[in-house]
Amino acid sequence: MKKGNATIHEIAKALGIDSSTVSRALNNSDRVTQKTKEKVLAKAKELGYRRNLIASNLRRNKSNTIGVIVPRISRHFFSSTIAGIEEAAFVAGYNVIICQSMEKLDREKSILNNLWSNRVDGVLISVSMETVACDHLKFLKDNNVPLVFFDRHCSAMEQSSKVLIDDTRASYEAVSHLIEKGCRKIVHFSGPQSLEIYKNRLRGYKEALEDHGIGFNDDLVVSSTLMEVDGKEMIQDLLHKHSDIDGVFSANDVAAIGAMKYLKKKGKRIPDDIAIVGFSNEPISEAIEPSLTTIDQSGFEIGRTACNLLIENINSKEKVLDRTLILNPTLIKRDSTNR
């Protein structure tokens, strides 16, 4: 017999017992004596038997696998959330399938179909910038596949579980910090207003201006996909129209860094001429010169909390009420605002 390919039937034949007895022994059934269990386990090890988890999971209608969808793994925030998710999943005995939507709705839909076809027990998702309608996500819930949003959620799904940070509060603190440093004409780089996180970050920006007696100017708010090239193009265009800009609050670090590179190239002093705050605390934000003041989103904790919430939903024998958990962000003060 070739070691490593043994079946239950071959173990039974080698021991001269029934296959059903071997199966019960391998599943630690009370219907089999301890002595028989030990004999079966020893022979299984000798023959290199490996349990067929796929078949076992099909019988139990459970895969012990979680699907995770993020916009881009390359973003530090999302790689941090994945680390938190995998930590919680490992402790609970779950495997993780990680997928990227690359900010594309069609790709997000295709991934969800594949996860559904592969019978994942639940899904964790931070939706793409193109995701507005939620029918493809409602399909999972309608078919009793637990779903938990983290960071970005679909506002059209009112009944849903999600783990977020307080984006409004974070933005309020960021803009208030710029104002405390003497900024009065502050621009805001926003993401698509179809997504709640960018709506909330804009709301915090507006509230901070209002509370400090500074009028809101819609011309100073520009939306984009927040790539580095967007940051460069947005600040270039804004400076052409408003040469007296003295502060920038960006809804992510990547666009903020694009703006910084352009400003430095044009001889603008940061923070003396223009102070800048980003969002997400990418590793490069500390390494760039000057280092970038930013909001830390606690990615690992968001991922761990979201995964634990999902597993709780998966394991619940009763209907779990949808919950929203909100974590507090932290303003990291660095040289880009150190006037």
Q: What is the CATH number of the domain that holds 44?
A: 1.10.260.40
Same domain, 287 and 203: yes
Same domain, 244 and 309: no
pLDDT number for residue 155:
83
Same domain, 100 and 178: no
| Residue 261 located in a structural domain | yes
What is the bridge-based pairing of β-strands 161-165 and 324-327? parallel
Same domain, 95 and 152: yes
| Residue 205 located in a structural domain | yes
H/E element, 70: strand 65-70
| Residue 2 located in a structural domain | no
Residue numbers of the chain with a pLDDT score lower than 50? 1-2
Structure token digits, residue 38:
């030990």
pLDDT number for residue 58:
52
Same domain, 284 and 313: no
What is the residue range of 143's domain? 63-164+299-327
pLDDT number for residue 32:
86
- Does the reported pTM lie above 0.85? no
The total of structural domains in the chain comes to 3
Distant-in-sequence, close-in-space partners of 272: CB < 8 Å, separation ≥ 6:
339
Phi, psi of 249 (to 5 degrees): -115, 115
Number of H helices, E strands in the chain: 13, 12
Q: How far is CA 89 from CA 64, 76, 97, 310, in A?
A: 9, 20, 11, 10
Task: Output DSSP code: residue 152.
Answer: B
* 3-class DSSP state of 313: helix
| Residue 217 located in a structural domain | yes
| Residue 3 located in a structural domain | no
Phi, psi of 152 (to 5 degrees): -105, 130
pLDDT number for residue 1:
44
Same domain, 80 and 131: yes
